[in-house]
Structure 1
Amino acid sequence: MTDALTSLPEPRHPDPADAPPLRWGVLGPGGIAADFTDALHRHSRQRVVAAGSRSAERAAAFAAAHGVERSHGSYEALVADPEVDVVYVATPHSEHLEHALLAIAAGKNVLIEKPMAVTAAQARQIVAAARGAGVFAMEAMWTRYLPQTDIARQLLERDALGEVRVVTADFGGRAAYDPSSRLWNPELAGGALLDLGVYTVSWASFAIGAPAGIIASGTLAPTGVDDQAALVLSSASGAHALLSTTLRAGTPSLATICGSEGRIETDSPFWGPSGLRVFRADGTLAAHWRDPYGRPYRDGMAYEAAALARYVAEGRTESPVHPLAEAVDTLATIDEARRQLGATRVE
């Protein structure tokens, strides 16, 4: 086991520019769409060729600011654009169902910002529509496609950690309380779990699969959304995941996978390009991999876009490393956690 932990595997796709180019349309030109577009243009051969908004002025301003060829004053016009191969749904997650279905009905491949929908039931509607239309669909859980995550995946595939027993992850940030804002408004599917906690639940799913048991504890904001949550997830094999998320304080944003023969500890933030340490069962450091590629934070979104382009070229209709069923399961876990917390929810 020592050799397996000391000689770490190389990331299999360290350069997003290795993927065949696709023409992208951005649906919802907000902050995350801006970072996504810039990341693609800086680090890959993917090109955003159109932006669509309910406001023609907003779409045109986005296009001018980010080197995008065309803009559309409606979402319907964007998804009907014959020059668009794939639609990136970047609207608030309370609107993901409507906008994903719109793109799918137009026959477009879709990348849907995380979480894919507000509930597992909504996500199942998206999956059914995509499969019925025969288009590619993927949740934009970009953490799955980062170089350090691929190293962790290869170690798990080789059983280098032995039997996985404990998984941890945290993601918290301090957000000013504004009951009308996206984070705090139940009408907009606010709350820590859907905004930040989805990363931690997805990390647990990556390491131990869908949970057999869920215990949630936390607090609610005056609007009724969850502002802090701690989850204990148990697997059928007896492994546990200990997860936390909050809108009230910044947290380290670290994640671990602990097995009988060794453990992985990510650098911070685990959800973006960073690095990882690998320890032997006796606690000694076996290796420390630091991301050398110079694509920090949201620049790492180029990796998920490149992965999607490769999958489409291979004739796939979903991601092999983050299948649609897993995105649904992650939302089912969050559904149950929110139910236990008594969080206000809008279906």
Structure 2
Amino acid sequence: MTASVRWGILGTGRIAKAFANALKDTPDAVLAGVGSRTLESAQAFTQEFGGTAYGSYEELAQAADIDLIYVGTPHPMHFENVRMALEAGKGVLCEKAFTVNRAEAEQLVALARAKNLFLMEAMWSRYLPGLAEVRRIVESGEIGKAVQVIADLGFAAQAGPEHRLFNPALGGGALLDIGIYPLSIAVALLGPVESVVAQADIGATGVDEQTSFVLKHRGGGMSSCSCSLRAHLPSELTIAGDLGRVRMNTKFHHAQTVTVTRLDGVARTVATPYLGNGYVHEAIEAQRCWQAGLIESPGMTHDDTLALMGVMDEIRRQIGLKYAADALFNQ
């Protein structure tokens, strides 16, 4: 094993560039290679960030000097991309939403377990100091028993119907792209989901442009979550108990401050800065797990990912949102 972890990035879009920037601030990380559907795109990427350019995803997966592969392609491509990387013997960090549906996720988790390879959903907010501080405050009992989460995330997208945000062939819609954030953190704070009720506005292209859902958690708490591609929402998260509340300030999924307000009126704001652009923390965790020989992260387990995909499947069933991949698994 080398002292450094050699990363390959699969995809050259905006999120892939953000992750490449994060690797610059990640200790012991080396960007060794980038794979794209065209060599020209890969070369343009490596000119900016370094590494070897590969003119196909397959070439990147087969490269001998790659330890971990970050998958940053659109949602419907995750299943094939991750499977290919695992079949090539590589550990994988896959961007959220992990797949289009739970059935795809189950196959990938089963493959990773069978091959004893590291696999993790890149839910970067799970590893940020902001969430760690909120958990510390909740566990301290300062706000009493936490029983309610309110979270929203939204922006007015200025994009055409062919853009991945609105294109059903690219897994478009608010739920998979940004709804996963409030869902994931609500579950991280209040525990597994027992039931869900959802409503949505379906746009002209057939995907959800805004969705709201109420979750009942197994431990007795409830959460109310919203996501939108039409409106600039506050994008904050509040967790409340009988003695007060904690707010993860805008934008909650990478909050740099959290505010505690107690029932007696006392309030304080705590700074929760993160490293680099925020993606650094998930890269550090992936490297730690891979170097330790783990196949999953305790902070975002395989079962966590499967459960979240199952909840999103149920939300989509209720709002009538289907993708091509669903038919492959008779959903």
TM-score by length of 1: 0.89
Secondary structure at the aligned position of 1:271 is classed as helix
Cα distance, 1:43 vs structure 2: 4.6
- Is 1:31 the counterpart of 2:11 in the alignment? no
1:301 corresponds to which of 255, 279, 283: 279
Match of 1:195?
177
Match of 1:96?
78
Match of 1:16?
none
Q: Is the deviation greater in 92-101 or in 332-341?
A: 332-341
Partner amino acid for 1:309?
Q
- Is 1:314 the counterpart of 2:292 in the alignment? yes
List 4+ stretches of structure 1 deviating above 4 A.
157-160
Return the alpha-carbon distance in structure 1 between the equivalents of residues 93 and 25 of structure 2: 19
Return the alpha-carbon distance in structure 2 between the equivalents of residues 221 and 32 of structure 1: 25
Cα distance, 1:251 vs structure 2: 1.1
Alignment of 1:104-183 (within 5 A): 104-183=86-165
Partner amino acid for 1:315?
G
> Does structure 2 retain, via aligned residues, the 8 Å contact 1:226–1:338?
no
> Does structure 1 retain, via aligned residues, the 8 Å contact 2:129–2:273?
no
Cα distance, 1:289 vs structure 2: 1.1
Match of 2:271?
290
CA-to-aligned-CA distance 1:54-104 (integer Å, 9 cap, x gap): 1011111100111x2211111111011111110000111110000000000
Match of 2:190?
208
Return the alpha-carbon distance in structure 2 between the equivalents of residues 283 and 170 of structure 1: 25
Match of 2:328?
none
Match of 2:314?
336
Cα distance, 1:23 vs structure 2: 0.7
Return the alpha-carbon distance in structure 2 between the equivalents of residues 179 and 339 of structure 1: 23
Match of 2:4?
21
Alignment of 1:220-299 (within 5 A): 220-285=202-267, 287-292=268-273, 295=276, 299=277
TM-score by length of 2: 0.93
Match of 2:329?
none
Alignment root-mean-square deviation, CA: 1.6
- Unaligned stretches of 5+ residues in structure 1: 1-19
Cα distance, 1:258 vs structure 2: 1.0
Q: Which has the higher contact order (CA 8 A, sep 6+)?
A: 1
> Does structure 2 retain, via aligned residues, the 8 Å contact 1:54–1:73?
yes
Return the alpha-carbon distance in structure 1 between the equivalents of residues 171 and 95 of structure 2: 14
Return the alpha-carbon distance in structure 2 between the equivalents of residues 28 and 293 of structure 1: 25
Cα distance, 1:50 vs structure 2: 0.3
